[in-house]
């Protein structure tokens, strides 16, 4: 079928809120390349929004899933468990920076992981309050929507939201929100909304994903850790987007030197198979009663087999070093664009978690979200999938597979540059 024919089916049969805006249909993928239904080649700088750190159909992952497919597809782990679930739980407990002896539970999506993290935190503390940050994205289920700090497009049509969720500003010094502002506002929340002794958890993305690839500094994360410890609040670290090698470490939190009480992960955990995990301190994870957590499909054997292969491949193929090297290349190109174009500013990266901002001009720093959208559109016309993000909608983020070949990376970055030239033309210092 052609793209046009598939589009007709989409328009007729797929719900508006769930339909992809793209008029192309992916038919095949390999590492950082896709081919559409008509055989057109597309360079993929989105990686399924951070799901494909090891690329489309990584050979080891495909092999592991095929082998598992020949053995067992499903039992429902609460009925009878299987080796891939417990082996993955063991691995994740060994690798995740949480306090003390860790325990794991598996679910299917990022949102589900966050839902369960909140349930566990409430059971462990006997408290209800949850504090999150502006610009955060934690998912599309009701609790995670309440926690998400951005109305459009996620929350707009769907209220009322669950209660006892409060928010503080996330520090973004480039846009005038300092760490001190943020910490002060958090302390105000304790005065205006919920007392510390009623607060179960503070939930933070150490580097915001949808919110704009803004990083919480090690000192900010340490300050949060101290506030949590002072009041017996649990620190939930959401690494759904920043985890699994994107930042040059397995988890972004490792850059700060602190440990979480609970960590959530998903996306590149299983390189395209639906799987998420909640990993936390054993005594916290064990707080709720038998059969209180889980779900019919949670920790599916195929997805667990994929995740075990991902963990092996990250070690064997030195993916953490490759992520850092990719980050260096992205940083160099972004710095060149910042020099060349008045509209390009605030390039930033932790490993290969890299983004830059489009602004009216460098002195005003006024966000230009329409320019970010135009850049993505132009890149698409040239055969590149590029993603915008951000609280202000004006950041361009890079989520290409860490395994992308050098030539393909340069080809994609050249498309970004050519698109910038067409859109914002003259060099800034001409």
Tell me the closest approach of the beta carbon of residue 1 to ligand PLP, in angstroms.
Answer: 28
Sign of the CA dihedral 119, 121, 122, 124? positive
Sign of the CA dihedral 362, 366, 372, 375? negative
Alpha-carbon distance of 415 to 301, in angstroms, equals 40
Alpha-carbon distance of 356 to 347, in angstroms, equals 4
Binding flags for ligand PLP, 31-50, as an x/- string (CB under 6 A): ------------------x-
Tell me the closest approach of the beta carbon of residue 244 to ligand PLP, in angstroms.
Answer: 12
Asked whether position 137 contacts ligand PLP by CB under 6 A, the answer is: yes
DSSP string, 202-271: EEE-SB-TTTTSPBPPHHHHHHHHHHHHHHT-EEEEE-TTTTTTTTSSSSGGGGTT--BSEEEE-GGGTT
Q: Which helix (H) or strand (E) holds 43?
A: strand 41-44
The answer to whether the bond into 272 is cis (omega within 30° of 0) is no
Asked whether position 340 contacts ligand PLP by CB under 6 A, the answer is: no
User: In the window 343-372, what residues touch ligand PLP (CB under 6 A)?
Assistant: none
Tell me the closest approach of the beta carbon of residue 261 to ligand PLP, in angstroms.
Answer: 17
Asked whether position 311 contacts ligand PLP by CB under 6 A, the answer is: no
Tell me the closest approach of the beta carbon of residue 329 to ligand PLP, in angstroms.
Answer: 24
Alpha-carbon distance of 398 to 321, in angstroms, equals 17
Alpha-carbon distance of 149 to 166, in angstroms, equals 10
Alpha-carbon distance of 384 to 46, in angstroms, equals 9
Q: Kindly tell me which of 134 and 340 has the beta carbon lying closer to ligand PLP.
A: 134
Asked whether position 109 contacts ligand PLP by CB under 6 A, the answer is: yes
- Out of 115, 238, 259, 271, which residue is the one contacting ligand PLP (CB under 6 A)? 238
Tell me the closest approach of the beta carbon of residue 216 to ligand PLP, in angstroms.
Answer: 12
- Out of 169, 206, 209, 212, which residue is the one contacting ligand PLP (CB under 6 A)? 209
Q: Which of 55, 84, 31, 51 is nearest to 265 (CA)?
A: 51
Asked whether position 56 contacts ligand PLP by CB under 6 A, the answer is: no
Sole window of 74-82, 123-131, 238-246, 402-410 interacting with ligand PLP (rule: CB under 6 A): 238-246
- Out of 44, 134, 210, 261, which residue is the one contacting ligand PLP (CB under 6 A)? 210
* Cβ(341)–Cβ(427) below 8 Å: yes
Burial of 329 from C-beta contacts in 10 A (0-12 / 13-18 / 19+): middle
Q: Which of 185, 195, 220 is nearest to 205 (CA)?
A: 220
How many binding residues for ligand PLP (CB under 6 A)?
A: 15
- Out of 240, 275, 313, 359, which residue is the one contacting ligand PLP (CB under 6 A)? 240
Sole window of 69-77, 123-131, 137-145, 347-355 interacting with ligand PLP (rule: CB under 6 A): 137-145
Q: Kindly tell me which of 119 and 382 has the beta carbon lying closer to ligand PLP.
A: 119
Tell me the closest approach of the beta carbon of residue 144 to ligand PLP, in angstroms.
Answer: 7
Q: Kindly tell me which of 137 and 398 has the beta carbon lying closer to ligand PLP.
A: 137
Binding flags for ligand PLP, 256-295, as an x/- string (CB under 6 A): ----------x-----------------------------
Tokens of residue 106, six digits: 């598996």
The phi-psi region of residue 41 (left if phi > 0; otherwise alpha if psi is between -120 and 50; otherwise beta) is beta
Neighbour count for residue 423 (Cβ, 10 Å): 15
Cα 206 to Cα 49, 227, 247, 391, 412, distances in angstroms: 17, 16, 11, 15, 28
Alpha-carbon distance of 425 to 274, in angstroms, equals 42
Q: Kindly tell me which of 48 and 347 has the beta carbon lying closer to ligand PLP.
A: 48
DSSP reduced 3-state for 381: helix
Tell me the closest approach of the beta carbon of residue 410 to ligand PLP, in angstroms.
Answer: 28
The backbone torsions φ and ψ at residue 117, rounded to the nearest 5 degrees and listed phi first, read -60, -40
Asked whether position 139 contacts ligand PLP by CB under 6 A, the answer is: yes
Sole window of 123-131, 135-143, 183-191, 323-331 interacting with ligand PLP (rule: CB under 6 A): 135-143
- Out of 99, 127, 138, 333, which residue is the one contacting ligand PLP (CB under 6 A)? 138
Sole window of 63-71, 98-106, 107-115, 316-324 interacting with ligand PLP (rule: CB under 6 A): 107-115
Sole window of 133-141, 183-191, 319-327, 343-351 interacting with ligand PLP (rule: CB under 6 A): 133-141
Asked whether position 164 contacts ligand PLP by CB under 6 A, the answer is: no
Binding site for ligand PLP (CB under 6 A): 49, 109-111, 114, 137-139, 205, 209-210, 238, 240-241, 266
């Amino acid at each position: 079928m052609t793209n046009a024919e598939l589009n007709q089916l989409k328009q007729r049969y797929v719900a508006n809120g769930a339909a992809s805006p793209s008029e192309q249909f992916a038919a095949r993928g390999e590492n950082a390349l896709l081919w559409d239904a008509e055989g057109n080649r597309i360079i993929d700088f989105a990686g399924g929004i951070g799901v494909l750190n090891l690329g489309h159909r990584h050979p080891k992952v495909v092999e592991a899933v095929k082998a598992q497919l020949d053995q067992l597809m499903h039992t429902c782990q609460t009925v009878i468990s299987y080796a891939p679930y417990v082996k993955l739980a063991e691995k994740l407990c060994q690798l995740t920076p949480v306090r003390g002896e860790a325990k794991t539970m598996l679910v299917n999506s990022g949102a589900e992981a966050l839902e369960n993290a909140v349930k566990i935190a409430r059971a462990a503390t006997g408290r209800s309050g949850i504090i999150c940050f502006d610009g955060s994205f934690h998912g599309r289920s009701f609790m995670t929507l309440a926690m998400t700090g951005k109305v459009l497009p996620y929350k707009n049509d769907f209220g009322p939201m669950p209660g006892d969720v409060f928010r503080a500003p996330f520090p973004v010094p480039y846009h005038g929100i300092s760490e001190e502002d943020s910490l002060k506002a958090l302390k105000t929340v304790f005065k205006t909304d919920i007392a510390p002794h009623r607060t179960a958890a503070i939930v933070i993305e150490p580097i915001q994903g949808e919110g704009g690839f803004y990083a919480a500094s090690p000192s900010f994360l340490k300050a949060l850790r101290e506030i949590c410890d002072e009041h017996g609040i649990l620190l939930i670290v959401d690494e759904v987007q920043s985890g699994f090698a994107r930042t040059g470490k397995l988890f972004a939190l490792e850059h700060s030197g602190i440990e979480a009480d609970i960590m959530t992960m998903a996306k590149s955990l299983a390189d395209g198979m639906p799987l998420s995990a909640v990993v936390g301190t054993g005594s916290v994870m064990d707080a709720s009663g038998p059969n209180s957590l889980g779900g019919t499909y949670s920790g599916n054997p195929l997805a667990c087999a994929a995740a075990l292969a991902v963990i092996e491949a990250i070690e064997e193929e030195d993916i953490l070093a490759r992520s850092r090297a990719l980050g260096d290349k992205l940083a160099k190109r972004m710095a060149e664009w910042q020099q060349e174009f008045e509209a390009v500013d605030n390039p930033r990266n932790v490993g290969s978690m890299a983004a830059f901002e489009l602004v009216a001009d460098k002195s005003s720093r006024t966000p230009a979200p329409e320019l970010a959208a135009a850049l993505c559109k132009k890149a698409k016309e040239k055969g590149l999938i590029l993603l915008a993000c951000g609280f202000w909608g004006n950041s361009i983020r890079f989520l290409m597979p860490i395994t992308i070949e050098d030539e393909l990376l340069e080809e994609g970055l050249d498309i970004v540059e050519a698109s910038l030239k067409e859109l914002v033309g003259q060099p800034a210092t001409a």
